[in-house]
């Protein structure tokens, strides 16, 4: 019996090994065929943006042996991490997960790395791609030419190039949003957005005001408070859920193990991935009354987590009145969760003040709030987030029949899995509408999208087709599916809160509506049946 089991096991193992070899062989043959087809056609891809998306795409296209050029409006590689240099900037997803699975970094110095270390990582990753990038050059327009089945791409330099395929990696958070306060022009001090941090302005000895309490403020407030400022006044409209991060440094020995034990980093990455996913199931899905015991348990668990975090605020913030003001009354996940080990603690400092009355207007000396109180300030920092609609419409896109993406997007942009649009043949987006996450790494989504678009381009080349375009019916059913999936999630219910996830009508067009396994599943193969090839 034992011998029989052993031989069945050996036979099974042999079959798996043979299958792996066969698959590898098939993949190699496919790759060679794609390379050859792209060479014969002088196939060219235009990539826009040199952040994580653009750099990751560069690696994919290198691997496919396809010719491409990247255009970046900024002066260097990095995207978000090149632009945002405010004090304390960093990721709020652990670095071993907020990185590419193909390019793991065993030497992250801490669990939540800061901006400069992330920038170093992405710039190192971008080195082999650098010769393909033209910096300080924005794409201003792309027009689809039906006859040629090519895109005419106009650059800010005036050059127009023809591309078979466009891949956009322009991000959803690259245009800062600065609210227009009455009297803003009267202010005699210095005012700037966190995204346009003025390193030349010393904050030492200054009276600083910061508007907003979202992710950037949560990172910047503790650092600004420690920069020798005379005072730091935080203008809060709504408190944020600020869970402890439990950030820690990686010791040399751990980095050594990550580097030399095969699979250890991947294992750690998977552990992180699942802990973030579990949070989604616990906190982002509303307990269902239709599943009696499970729904009841889910509700109890959610209430317990809320209670725990409320207790955390009361424990950390010494002044009970301030603690009360810093405690959210909406469910976690309705707005972006902003973990920090030092934000709440900042309000115990004598020079940090919390103002919860709304801003009425700016004056020449500072800010006047609705309670008619004046707050004299030397520097005002806008931590007011990003213009998502402006970011998604990064340049003018004129697709099938001259219809523009901006018009179709209106105030509710859409894209099939954040990648394809029925008006844009041979056009793939990375980080397009509908893929923002509140609980996990956006780079996971990016990698899935890269696999998907790679398969799409391969299919185009192998079929000898000139264009591949999403069917309108597929877009409509995806939109419907996506709306339905959002329905039982805390980030979709207007009664809880408003957030930057939504447009002015309260519609949440930015969010991926469900868990990430589902995203991986849907994008792991290219669903040719939902596309027209011509």
Under the criterion CB under 6 A, does residue 208 sit at the interface with ligand FAD? no
Under the criterion CB under 6 A, does residue 475 sit at the interface with ligand FAD? no
Report yes or no: 420 and 444 within 8 Å, Cβ to Cβ.
no
For ligand FAD, give the closer residue by CB, 60 or 442.
Answer: 442
Which tokens sit at 11?
A: 């036979």
Report yes or no: 71 and 47 within 8 Å, Cβ to Cβ.
yes
Output b/e per residue, 381-414; b: 16+ Cβ within 10 A.
Answer: bbbbbbbbbebbbbbebbbeeeeebeebbeebbb
Under the criterion CB under 6 A, does residue 478 sit at the interface with ligand FAD? no
Half-sphere exposure of 131 (CA within 13 A, CB side): 3
Half-sphere exposure of 529 (CA within 13 A, CB side): 1
CB of 445 to ligand FAD, least distance (A): 8
For ligand FAD, give the closer residue by CB, 337 or 380.
Answer: 337
Q: Going by DSSP bridges, is the β-strand pair 374-376/139-145 parallel, antiparallel, or unpaired?
A: unpaired
CB atoms within 10 A of CB 329: 9
For ligand FAD, give the closer residue by CB, 99 or 426.
Answer: 99
Under the criterion CB under 6 A, does residue 74 sit at the interface with ligand FAD? yes
- Can you tell me whether residue 421 is helix, strand or coil? strand
Residue 528: Cβ-neighbour burial (10 angstroms; 0-12, 13-18, 19+): middle
Under the criterion CB under 6 A, does residue 419 sit at the interface with ligand FAD? no
- Can you tell me whether residue 110 is helix, strand or coil? strand
CB atoms within 10 A of CB 477: 13
Which residue in the set 72, 164, 378, 492 belongs to the binding site for ligand FAD (CB under 6 A)? Answer: 72
Under the criterion CB under 6 A, does residue 212 sit at the interface with ligand FAD? no
CB of 213 to ligand FAD, least distance (A): 14
Report yes or no: 328 and 240 within 8 Å, Cβ to Cβ.
yes
Under the criterion CB under 6 A, does residue 389 sit at the interface with ligand FAD? no
CB of 143 to ligand FAD, least distance (A): 14
CB of 170 to ligand FAD, least distance (A): 4
Under the criterion CB under 6 A, does residue 395 sit at the interface with ligand FAD? yes
Report yes or no: 386 and 206 within 8 Å, Cβ to Cβ.
no
Which residue in the set 138, 143, 184, 201 belongs to the binding site for ligand FAD (CB under 6 A)? Answer: 138
d(CA 58, CA 103): 13
Which of these ranges, 30-38, 84-92, 141-149, 233-241, lies near ligand FAD under the rule CB under 6 A?
Answer: 84-92
Which of these ranges, 32-40, 71-79, 265-273, 396-404, lies near ligand FAD under the rule CB under 6 A?
Answer: 71-79
Which residue in the set 45, 47, 89, 419 belongs to the binding site for ligand FAD (CB under 6 A)? Answer: 89
Which of these ranges, 50-58, 206-214, 263-271, 402-410, lies near ligand FAD under the rule CB under 6 A?
Answer: 50-58
Which of these ranges, 86-94, 198-206, 495-503, 515-523, lies near ligand FAD under the rule CB under 6 A?
Answer: 86-94
d(CA 323, CA 344): 9
Which residue in the set 165, 394, 435, 453 belongs to the binding site for ligand FAD (CB under 6 A)? Answer: 394
For ligand FAD, give the closer residue by CB, 173 or 326.
Answer: 173
For ligand FAD, give the closer residue by CB, 216 or 233.
Answer: 216
What is the size of the binding site for ligand FAD (CB under 6 A)? 33
508: β partners:
502
For ligand FAD, give the closer residue by CB, 34 or 91.
Answer: 91
Q: Name which of residues 217 to 246 contact ligand FAD (CB under 6 A).
A: none
For ligand FAD, give the closer residue by CB, 176 or 425.
Answer: 176
Task: From 495, 519, 499, 521, select the one nearest 510 (Cα to Cα).
Answer: 499
In total, the chain counts a number of residues equal to: 534
d(CA 38, CA 461): 7
Residue with tokens 């020798």: 228
The residues that touch ligand FAD, with contacts defined as CB under 6 A, are 48-54, 71-74, 79-80, 84, 89, 91-93, 98, 138-139, 169-171, 173-174, 216, 394-395, 430-431, 441-442
């Amino acid at each position: 019996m034992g011998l029989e089991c052993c031989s069945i096991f050996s036979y099974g193992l042999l079959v798996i090994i043979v299958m792996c070899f066969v698959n590898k062989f098939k993949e190699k043959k496919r790759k060679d065929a794609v390379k050859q087809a792209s060479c014969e056609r002088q196939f060219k891809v235009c990539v826009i943006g040199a952040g994580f998306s653009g750099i990751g795409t560069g690696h994919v296209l290198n691997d496919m042996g396809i010719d491409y050029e990247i255009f970046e409006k900024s002066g260097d590689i990095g995207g978000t991490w090149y632009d945002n240099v405010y004090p304390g900037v960093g990721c709020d997803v652990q670095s071993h997960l907020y990185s590419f699975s193909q390019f793991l970094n065993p030497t992250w110095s801490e669990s939540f790395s800061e901006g400069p270390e992330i920038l170093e990582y992405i710039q190192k990753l971008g080195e082999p791609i650098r010769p393909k990038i033209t910096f300080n050059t924005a794409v201003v327009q792309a027009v689809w030419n039906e006859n040629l089945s090519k895109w005419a791409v106009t650059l800010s330099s005036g050059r127009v190039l023809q591309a078979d395929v466009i891949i956009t990696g322009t991000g959803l958070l690259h245009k800062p949003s600065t609210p227009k306060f009455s009297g803003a022009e009267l202010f005699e001090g210095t005012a700037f957005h966190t995204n346009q941090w003025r390193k030349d302005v010393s904050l030492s000895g200054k009276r600083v005001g910061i508007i907003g309490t979202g992710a950037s403020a949560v990172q910047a407030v503790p650092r600004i408070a420690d920069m020798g400022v005379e005072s730091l006044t935080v203008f809060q409209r709504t408190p944020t859920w600020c869970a402890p991060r439990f950030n820690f440094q990686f010791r040399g020995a751990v980095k050594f193990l990550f580097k030399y034990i095969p699979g250890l980093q991947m294992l750690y990455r998977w552990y992180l991935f699942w802990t973030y996913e579990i949070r989604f199931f616990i906190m982002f899905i509303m307990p269902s009354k239709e599943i009696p015991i499970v729904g009841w348990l889910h509700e109890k668990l959610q209430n317990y987590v809320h209670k725990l975090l409320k207790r955390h605020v009361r424990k950390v913030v010494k002044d009970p009145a301030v603690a009360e003001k810093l405690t959210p009354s909406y469910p976690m996940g309705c707005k972006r969760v902003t973990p920090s080990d030092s934000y709440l603690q900042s309000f115990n400092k004598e020079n940090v003040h919390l103002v919860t009355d709304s801003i009425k207007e700016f004056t020449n000396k500072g800010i006047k709030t609705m309670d008619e109180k004046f707050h004299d300030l030397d520097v005002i920092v806008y931590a007011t987030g990003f213009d998502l609609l402006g970011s998604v419409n990064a340049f003018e896109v004129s697709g099938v029949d001259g219809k523009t993406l901006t018009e179709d997007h209106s105030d509710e942009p859409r894209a099939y899995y954040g990648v394809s649009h029925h008006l844009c043949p041979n056009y793939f987006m990375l980080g397009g509408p509908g893929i923002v996450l509140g609980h996990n790494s956006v780079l996971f989504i990016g990698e899935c999208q890269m696999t998907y678009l790679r398969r799409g381009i391969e299919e185009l080349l192998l079929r000898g087709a000139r264009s591949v375009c999403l069917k309108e019916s597929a877009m409509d059913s995806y939109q419907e599916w996506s709306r339905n999936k959002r329905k039982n999630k805390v980030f979709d219910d207007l009664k809880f809160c408003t957030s930057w996830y939504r447009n002015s009508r309260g519609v949440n067009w930015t969010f991926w509506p469900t868990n990430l396994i589902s995203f991986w599943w849907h994008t792991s193969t290219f669903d040719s049946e939902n596309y027209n090839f011509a």
